[in-house]
Structure 1
C-alpha cells in the first residue's frame, strides 16, 4: 500500500555510524528517526515511533514480531538487520505481510573466522587462566615446572604430526577457518553439515587439494565428537540444532579436545559443558556465544562457564572488527533505503524456503 504522505519514514534502532547514516539522512524524501543512546534500544521507544514507518533498521537485540509489525501498520515494506542471523525476526509474520528482509550474511565471514582461531588458541594455551594469574599478582609465585599451564598444541609437530579438526556446520565461515588452519599444519578435517545441508563431494575434493589435507569427510555426530581434537561449532541456531552438543555428545570427546563456539549459544547445553570441563571430559572451551546471553540479566560472573578456569568466554565479539562493522552498517543502510524506494535489495533474505 502506498503512503499518502510525501516523506517515507525509516526507524533506526541503532545508529549505524556517520558514513551509513549519511546515506539515509541526506536523502531529501526520508524522515529518519534514530535511537541515539549507546545501549540496547528500548522496546517502548520502538513501539512509539514505528507507526507509519516504511523501513525499519534493527540488530539481533530487537525482536520483530506480530506486535511490532501490527503497530507499524501497512506502510512497512522492509526490515533491514545488521547481522548474519535472523532468529529475532518472525518470518511467518513478515512473509504474510510481504515485507522484505535485508541482512548481511557474507561480510562478517573473515572477522568471525579470525575470532574462531583466536578462541582456539586461547583455549588450548590456557590464556584465560594465565591472564588471570598475572592480573591477580600470581606471576611471581608461578611454578616453573615443565608442564605448568600447558595445554594441547593447535599446530602439528614432528612429535605429534596429526591433528583432526572438526566442524559442526560447514559453510562459509568454516571454510575460512580451515584456510587459516592450513598454516598450522592441519592434516585431517571432518565435519557434520548443518541439518538439511547436502554433502558436496566435488567441493570437498577441491578443499582437500587446496589445503593439502590427508582427509576431509562428512561424518555423523558421534564420530565428530570422538575424533575432533578441536571442534568448531559454526551452525545456525533454531530448533533443529538446539543442544546438539549435550552431555552424551561431550562424553564422547577426548580429554585433550577443545570446543570452540562461534555459531549460536543454543547449540551447546551450557550445564553439560560446564560439567564436562569441571570433570575433565574435555580439555577446554572458547566461547563467543552462550545460550543464556539473551536471557534477563544475561551472562554474569556467576555463570558456571564463566567461572570455569579452562573456559574462555567473550561477549559475542565475532564480527566486532572496525572494517567489518563499517561494511555491515553500509549494507544495512543500502538495504533499507532500497526497500523504502521500491528497489531491489542488495542482499535480501529469501525466506520462501524457510517459512
Structure 2
C-alpha cells in the first residue's frame, strides 16, 4: 500500500531546531521546505521558496508584502510568524487574499521577561564590564568603589507598557525589593494591582525611576519615543533597558546620553538594525550592553505546530476545513494567536506586548 501523498507545502524561512523539524515532519500532510541557515533568507530565495506554498513560517526580519504573496500564488492559506508583532507583514494585502495570519503573543513571554531581567541585572551591576577587566588584566586588586553598580532594593522601577511581557518582568523584579513600580501606557491595567503598579504619566515615570524598562509595542505613537528630551528627564544614575523594538529608541540620542554621563547605563535586547554594525558608536561604550535576541525552544515548537495545524484544535486546521475569511466585509486581516484567540487588525493597530 502506497503512502499518502503530501498535499501541503510549508516553507520555513530560517533553520529551526531538530525538535521543530520533528513536529513538521510528523504532520503527514506537510512537505517541509527550509531555508537551512541561521542567517536571514535572501529576498530572491524567499520569493523562490514560497512558490506554490500552502503555509509560510517567517520571522520578523522577513518582509511579507504583495511581491511575496504574488510569488506564493493562490495556494497560500496561512502565514505564521515567530514574533509578538506583525508590522513586517502587509496585512491589507493578506486580507484581500483571504490568508490567515498566526503570531505568538504569549509563547515568548517568559523567555523575554527572563532575558530582560538578566539584562537589567547585568547592566546595573556592570557585569560585562567586569568580565572584560578580568580578561584584559584590569583587575589588579580589591578597590572599595571599583565597578560599583546600582541595586534594585529600595528602588523605583518604571515599565513602559505593562502588557503580558511587562507584567511578567514586573513579577520577576518585585522579589528583589523594589519599592515602587510605576507604569505607563494607553490606560491603567487592572492586573497592575498584582505588582502594586502605579499608573503615571510618562514624564513622571521617566523622571522618578531608577530603572526604566521599555516593553511596549511598536506603533506610530511609540516610534522614536525614547529620544533626547526623554533621556534629559532621566536621573543621572538611572539605567535604561529596551526589550521591545529597536525603533522605539533614537539610538543617536541614546549614545549622546550615555557618552555624556546624562544617564548611567543601558541594556539593549533590540536595536536598529539587528545586529548593529561592529563599528556602531554604541558598541564603543562600556556602559552600553547590547545582547542578541533569542527564541525559547518551546516557542519555536509551538509556532511550528500551529503552522502545520498539528496542535489539537489548531485554528490553522480549522482554516483548512473551510473557516475562511474571504467573505469578510471589513478591511482587516484575520489574525490568530497561538492561544487560539482571533483578532481583527489593520495596519495601524498593533498587538500588545513586545514587538
Give the shorter-chain TM-score range.
0.7 to 0.9
TM-aligned CA deviation for residue 262 of structure 1:
0.7
Return the alpha-carbon distance in structure 2 between the equivalents of residues 349 and 76 of structure 1: 21
Tell me the residue number matched to 2:187.
Answer: 198
Query: Residue 245 of structure 1: which of 226, 231, 243 is its match?
Result: 226
Tell me the residue number matched to 1:153.
Answer: 151
| 1:172 equivalent in alignment to 2:160 | no
Moved over 4 A (4+): 343-351
- Is the contact between residue 174 and residue 195 of structure 2 (CA under 8 Å) also seen in structure 1? no
Return the alpha-carbon distance in structure 1 between the equivalents of residues 45 and 342 of structure 2: 29
Secondary structure of the residue that 2:244 maps to in structure 1? coil
Report the CA distance shift for 1:71/1:313 in structure 2 as closer, same or farther (over 3 A).
Answer: same
TM-aligned CA deviation for residue 339 of structure 1:
6.6
- Is the contact between residue 78 and residue 336 of structure 1 (CA under 8 Å) also seen in structure 2? no
How many residues in Structure 1 have an aligned counterpart in Structure 2?
A: 326
- Is the contact between residue 19 and residue 330 of structure 1 (CA under 8 Å) also seen in structure 2? no
- Is the contact between residue 54 and residue 340 of structure 1 (CA under 8 Å) also seen in structure 2? no
TM-aligned CA deviation for residue 169 of structure 1:
0.8
Alignment of 1:303-318 (within 5 A): 303-317=280-294
Alignment of 1:59-138 (within 5 A): 59-138=59-138
Return the alpha-carbon distance in structure 2 between the equivalents of residues 147 and 32 of structure 1: 57
TM-score, normalised to structure 2, is: 0.84
1:100-135 per-residue CA deviation (whole Å, 9 max, x = no partner) reads 011111111111111111111111111121111122
Secondary structure of the residue that 1:255 maps to in structure 2? coil
Mark the runs of 5 or more structure 1 residues left unpaired by the alignment: 157-161, 209-215
1:87-110 per-residue CA deviation (whole Å, 9 max, x = no partner) reads 221111112222101111111111
TM-score, normalised to structure 1, is: 0.84
Report the CA distance shift for 1:292/1:24 in structure 2 as closer, same or farther (over 3 A).
Answer: closer
Return the alpha-carbon distance in structure 1 between the equivalents of residues 119 and 280 of structure 2: 19
Return the alpha-carbon distance in structure 1 between the equivalents of residues 73 and 261 of structure 2: 54
Secondary structure of the residue that 1:152 maps to in structure 2? coil
| 1:285 equivalent in alignment to 2:285 | no
Report the CA distance shift for 1:322/1:54 in structure 2 as closer, same or farther (over 3 A).
Answer: closer
| 1:185 equivalent in alignment to 2:177 | yes
Root-mean-square deviation (CA), in Å? Answer: 2.4
- Is the contact between residue 53 and residue 76 of structure 1 (CA under 8 Å) also seen in structure 2? yes
- Is the contact between residue 77 and residue 99 of structure 1 (CA under 8 Å) also seen in structure 2? yes
TM-aligned CA deviation for residue 300 of structure 1:
2.5
Return the alpha-carbon distance in structure 2 between the equivalents of residues 325 and 24 of structure 1: 11
- Is the contact between residue 101 and residue 349 of structure 1 (CA under 8 Å) also seen in structure 2? no
Alignment of 1:321-336 (within 5 A): 321-334=296-309
Secondary structure of the residue that 2:134 maps to in structure 1? helix
- Is the contact between residue 83 and residue 328 of structure 1 (CA under 8 Å) also seen in structure 2? no
Tell me the residue number matched to 2:320.
Answer: 341
Report the CA distance shift for 1:113/1:327 in structure 2 as closer, same or farther (over 3 A).
Answer: same
Tell me the residue number matched to 1:213.
Answer: none
Report the CA distance shift for 1:204/1:338 in structure 2 as closer, same or farther (over 3 A).
Answer: same
